[in-house]
Structure 1
Amino acid sequence: MKQKDSLKSKNKIVPEVIWREAYVALAHYPELKDTPIEFKFKKKIKKSFMQAQPKFGDLLKKRGKRSYYIMISERFNIEDQEFDVTNVPSDVLIGWIGHELGHIMDYKNRSAVNMIWFGTRYITSKRYIREAERAADTYAVNHGMGEYIIATKDFILNHADLSEHYKNRIKSLYLSQEEIMELVEELD
């Protein structure tokens, strides 16, 4: 994926290949309208397809002045299956992006010191990874993205070629489809 094939707006940079899905997901987060976010392809992201993070140089800036990346793995291998954005269904991609935008919502509320502490705990504690991933799912569902988050879970959990080990990891770290439905019902 070529980074130069990106669309730029006032404060968003999005590769053309995912502009529609990014636009749909961003539309659910009006409070991120003025937040600089760059969607960027990366050769490989360890244990993940996407990853949201503040731009390193902005980490010590005030909360409202930070810029963020959403890194997207060019190719994502789960066991012997290879995925990329061109063979992931659109609603699944929207859900994945919506989940990452949920992380950005979480990050926007954290001080610089808290962000550093967050990163440290995320790297060192499975319990904290679970907390952070469930929080991002919750942000996405609370922003009207429940159907997309469920589509993403369905894609992973019902994919015949993925191992039970990987599926169990997803089940243990993220909200279940039942928990998502409960959150959706609470919103109605």
Structure 2
Amino acid sequence: MKLKDITTSIKNLIFLSSIPISGKVQTNKNNYWQRGSLKVDAVFKDNYLQNFLVPYIQFEDLHACKIRIKTKKLKTTMTARPGFASLFMGKKNRQYIIHVNTDEAFKGVLLANVPEEARIGLFAHELMHIRDYESRKVTGVLKRGLQYLSKNGKRNVEHYTDSLTISAGFGEQLFQWAAYVLYDSEASEDYKAFKSDIYMSPITIYNKMNRLDWNK
């Protein structure tokens, strides 16, 4: 095991021991694991929790947010959205749901096939969506949703979220994610074209990281 991996594991253990244990929560169909305000299903816990905690631990402002992670069939790799009904229950009661695609027939990229560093970059990106939503009132969140109805609006939101991810210190991992999708994955050409059109390219991420370092 590399020193970096050992350090990450120690940080995760410290974090997990610092917040109350809610234990395994039984629902009608699935078992859920919960610590503090973070609640994840058993599939995610067993396969991805350690990687997810790498950025999550760093984003202390999100620890009080009610975040629930579920696995299901999707038309994309992952999504992070506020629970619609919770938007009208006051900000303290707002809930965010992260969905992870498990559809093996998906023509894009499944999380199970993504290298760990790239996976961490994607997790950081999705958490930045939640940070963005948290900074907004209900009307602001709804306006964000309306932006997804157009290609330009969607591109603006995703580029902004990529910028937040880079500023939060996960530019290298985001670069790994973008490069994997476009150059190393077995995703369809249509999926790669969509990603290239809507999200930052690896070279754009690299250049933004350099400018950020230059301005420090």
User: TM-score, structure 1 length as denominator?
Assistant: 0.85
Larger-Rg structure: 2
Change (3 A) 1:160 1:11: closer
Aligned length: 181
Report 1:94-173 matches (<5 A).
94-122=120-148, 124-159=149-184, 161-173=186-198
CA offsets per residue over residues 123-170 of structure 1, 9 Å max, x none?
A: x21111101111111111111111111111111111363343322221
Instruction: State the match for 1:88 in structure 2.
Output: 114
User: In 2, are the aligned partners of 1:61 and 1:112 still within 8 Å (CA)?
Assistant: no
CA offsets per residue over residues 55-108 of structure 1, 9 Å max, x none?
A: 2221123445422111111126453x7x54333221222111111111111111
Return the letter of the residue paired with 1:19: L
Looking at structure 2, the residues matched to 76 and 157 of structure 1 have their Cα atoms a distance apart, in angstroms, of: 19
Looking at structure 2, the residues matched to 84 and 175 of structure 1 have their Cα atoms a distance apart, in angstroms, of: 19
Shift of 1:32: 0.9
Percent pairwise identity = 28
Q: Does 1:36 align with 2:62?
A: no
Shift of 1:3: 4.5
Looking at structure 1, the residues matched to 124 and 185 of structure 2 have their Cα atoms a distance apart, in angstroms, of: 24
- Among 56, 60, 69, the residue aligned to 2:84: 56
Which structure exhibits the higher relative contact order, with contacts defined as CA atoms closer than 8 Å and separated by 6 or more residues?
A: 1
Q: Where does the alignment leave 5 or more consecutive residues of structure 1 unmatched? A: none
Change (3 A) 1:160 1:54: closer
Matched residue of 1:110: which SS?
Answer: coil
Instruction: State the match for 1:20 in structure 2.
Output: 50
> What value does the CA root-mean-square deviation take over the aligned residues?
2.1
Shift of 1:45: 1.7
Change (3 A) 1:13 1:175: same
Looking at structure 2, the residues matched to 3 and 127 of structure 1 have their Cα atoms a distance apart, in angstroms, of: 38
User: In 1, are the aligned partners of 2:147 and 2:157 still within 8 Å (CA)?
Assistant: no
Looking at structure 1, the residues matched to 185 and 38 of structure 2 have their Cα atoms a distance apart, in angstroms, of: 36
Structure 1 segments (4+ residues) deviating >6 Å: none
User: TM-score, structure 2 length as denominator?
Assistant: 0.75
Instruction: State the match for 1:45 in structure 2.
Output: 74
Q: Where does the alignment leave 5 or more consecutive residues of structure 2 unmatched? A: 1-28
Looking at structure 2, the residues matched to 159 and 74 of structure 1 have their Cα atoms a distance apart, in angstroms, of: 20
